[in-house]
Every structure is written in structure tokens, then in C-alpha cells.
Amino acid sequence: MNSITKIDLAQSELLKKDQQFVWHPYSSLSAPIPAYEVVSAKGVHLKLADGRELIDGMASWWCAIHGYNHPVLNAAAKDQIDKVSHVMFGGITHAPAVNLCEKLVAITPDGLDKVFLSDSGSVAVEIAIKMAFQYWISQGQPQKNKLLTLRRGYHGDTFAAMSVCDPETGMHHIFDQVVAKHHFAPAPMIGVHEPWDEEDIAEFTTIIREHKQQLAAVILEPIVQGAGGMRFYSPHYLKRVRELCDDNNVLLIADEIATGFGRSGKLFACEWAGISPDIMCLGKAITGGYMTLAATLCSAEVSRGICEGEAGCFMHGPTFMGNPLACAVANASIDLLLSSDWQANIQRIEAQLLTAVLPFNALNDVATTRVLGAIGVIEMKTPVNVAEIQKRFVAEGIWVRPFGKNVYVMPPYIISDSELEQLMSGIYRVLAN
């Protein structure tokens, strides 16, 4: 038996075991779709077990902003693992966590002065919601226990997060009868660079004014609605939300898990509107895709309000909170980003995407295209068959993971012009045929 045959058999056996034992995200065990085995990755390339290399257009669900196998991040992880990989955060502290929290306070919008670390984006949202509720309980207003959010939004897979995802068209709509009930305003319709019309926020205004006695917070994705539809909206809408929250004594939670660390063209999407939320959620790109880590930041007013209440502390404590290994890599990732001319680089990617999506508009099956920062979206007229289209993308040497009607890219920031051209040309060939 030659070596190639042995490799093929080993790969086949691994994929059989994968289908037998592994439950992948948003996949069916009744009709499993074969996964693609990745054996290594470097730069923007994923190497499959069969030797093929794919240009990754997804940055591993938007987190691997520096690409894969980056020497700076590798060194940070290797250095930290020889010191301490994990230690409980209750009653213990360490330099990686302290330095990270100081860094996050320095680079996020003014007024976000306290940082609570956790281990995933969904948990960061759960923490933000719990902060808002506990704040009002501590203020003697427990009736303020509802949230206001936007339709077509997405905030995560855990229960509180699901309760503020779109209740009808979102991926979690089947849980509508078991999650907590909150208030939903229509999704913003005015685009990032379009003229403002106050009518776009009229229903939101009515809801927040009518229910301000029961509303603890507004939670939204600033400027970019991510997994709920990859939609971009006017910064003026966000500015008006901040004003309305202030006028009606309601906290504002900004879910920047997808947009944080430069993806929209600003370091944080709130900067498009020049506003500061009361609470902000960060995740995904915080470690450059190396380790799972998230953070929920809040104002001194929110933290003080919580800690001066009956409990005397915030009632949450993840086991892996402040993981030193993750914090060390996060520090290196943020320093790597900020030491580069990241804004010019995002503008380079945006300019190339704006040109690249133009031909797609002539395709019969394409409804519209849109670009913001390092995000490019081709919205189809009907939902795509993910399994089938994925095979064709892989045959083109690219990795793209569509959902619903959206074929989109959010590549690593290190992608070159030629690699981005290969990525978009491959997508075009698949959608045009």
C-alpha cells in the first residue's frame, strides 16, 4: 500500500468518525454533511488533508484578523504557556488580564471604565443583559426588566441572547415560545451614507417612550447587523438611539462582538456615530482568533450602581474568566493591530471589494450587493444550498460559508490584493454558473 493510499484511507476514516461522533454547529445528524479536514493553516490559507489549499474568506467566523500561524501571536502564546496557562480569577490576578483590561478601557469609547472578562461572545451578551437588570434592581426599580432591540438582529446562541435575536426571521425564531419576551423595533432601513430621515426611527421612539418604566436597556449591533442579515445602517440612527436612551432613563448596550477591532473601518462601530454606550460587548477578534475570550465593558456609573445594591457585587463568575493564556494573546493581537496602519489597510480592502462586487449586480439571481470596511455581501434573491455551493467554492480554492440569502466575505486583514481578487473571482464563477 503506497503512502498516498494510506493518507486517503486515514482521511476517510477520520471523516467517518466525524460524522459518527461530532455534532457541528447548525448541522443535522439525520442528514450529515461531510466536513472538510484542515491539517494546517498559514496566512490566509487553509490546507486540507488532501493537499488542497483554500483562501479563507471568513477569517474563521470573523475572528482571525491577522490570519493564521502568525509569529507574533505564536510567540505570545508560547511565552505565556511556560508561565501559567490558567488560574482561577477569584481572589487572584495576573499581568495579562490587568494589562488587557487597561488596554481595552484606553481604546474603547470614553466612559467605558470597567471590564468583566468571560470566554465567549454569547456569554458577554448574557453578562451585559444581567448587568443591566442587576443595575436597576440595585436602584430599587426591579420593574425595569425588559429590553428593546432591533429586528433582524443577532446576539448569540444562549437563552438571554436568543431572546433579543429576531423573533420571526432569525435563526432562533423556533424558540419564540420559550425565551423571555422583549420589545422589538423595526430594523433601520437608511444606509450608512444615505440622507437621514427621522421616520426611520419613529416606531423605536414610540416604543421607548411608552415602555420606559419597564425598559432596562436597549441592545443593538452598532451600524452592522451581522448574522441576522449582514445589513448596514445609518450612524445617525445610532446617535438618535443614544439620545433617546438618555432622555428616557434607559441603558444602552452595544454588541460589538462582530464589529470590534476594525472590521467596519472604525476601531469600534460606535465611533461612526461618535457615541459611547453604557455597556459594550467584545469578542471574536479580541485574540486574533487564537483563543476563546470575550469582554463586557461598562461605565463607572453602572458598576457602582450594581455594587452598591443588596448583593454588593456582580452576580457572575465564569470558571475560565481572565484566562492568562487568552489574555496574553489578546494583548499581542491588539498591539499588532494598533501598531499597523490598520485604517489604511481596511480602506484598501474596502476599495477592492467595492470594485469586485459590481459585476455581481448583473447576475439574475443576485438581489443586491453592499460593502463596508472589510465586509462584502452578495445578497441572493433566494436562500442558497450551503452544502452544494460550499463544494463548488472549495473546488475554486476558496473557503466561503454563506447563510440564508447571503454570500459574504469578512477576510483576514492580511489578505493581499491578489488573494482577494482570487477570492472574489472564485465566488463570481460559482454564482454565475
365: cell is 439571481
Catalytic residue among 56, 166, 255, 278: 255
Of 295, 284, 287, 292, nearest to 226 by C-alpha is: 284
What is the total residue count of the chain? 433
Catalytic residue among 135, 154, 290, 413: 154
Whether 244 contacts 220, CB under 8 Å = no
Catalytic annotation on 290?
A: no
Catalytic residue among 166, 284, 290, 413: 284
Cα gap 380→374, rounded to integer Å: 20
Catalytic annotation on 284?
A: yes
237: cell is 440612527
Of 409, 410, 403, nearest to 380 by C-alpha is: 403
Catalytic annotation on 26?
A: yes
Catalytic annotation on 408?
A: no
Whether 235 contacts 223, CB under 8 Å = yes
Torsion of CA 375, 201, 121, 302, to 10 degrees: 140
Give residue 84's identity as a one-letter amino acid code. V
Of 280, 283, 256, nearest to 119 by C-alpha is: 283
Of 266, 264, 262, nearest to 285 by C-alpha is: 262
Whether 283 contacts 124, CB under 8 Å = yes
Report how far Cα 24 is from the mean position of its chain's Cα atoms: 19
Catalytic residue positions? 26, 154, 255, 284
